[in-house]
Amino acid sequence: MPQIKIRGIHENDICKISEKMIDELVEAVKCPRDYFEIECIKSIAIRNGKLDSVYPFVEVAWFDRGQEVQNIVADIITNSIRNNLDVEDMDLAFTVFEKEKYYENGDHF
């Protein structure tokens, strides 16, 4: 169920790296491939009253899997993007869902 939300990188570029990246994430997280979802969010940056390019930012929303797995996931995503898409700088952040506050079809986990 890890949701990977990406801003500031074109969706066609993400498609190029998505399969191999998900292969690596499946191994690291130990969950089925179909649990992963990548969402490319189109956004517009405004700086000093003018349109500007959006800084590459990735958010991983998931249930906590511990610091060690989180570090591995951060490395996989960062390296996949930086090494394959000519992205020099980017940020990545994790949002952790609490099971009792996450609902699927009206039922919490």
Across 35-48, average pLDDT = 96
What is the pLDDT, as a whole number, of residue 108?
A: 83
What is the pLDDT, as a whole number, of residue 109?
A: 78
What is the pLDDT, as a whole number, of residue 42?
A: 95
Residue 1: pLDDT band (50, 70, 90) is confident
pTM (two decimals): 0.93
* Residue among 108, 21, 104, 31 nearest 65 (CA): 31
**Domain 3-108 class, CATH top level:** alpha beta
Please state at what angle helix 67-84 crosses helix 11-29, rounded to 10 degrees: 150
Cβ contacts of 87-90, under 8 Å, gap ≥ 24: 87/9, 87/56, 89/55, 89/56, 90/8, 90/9, 90/55, 90/56, 90/57, 90/58
| Residue-wise pLDDT tens digits, 7-24 | 999 999 999 999 999 999
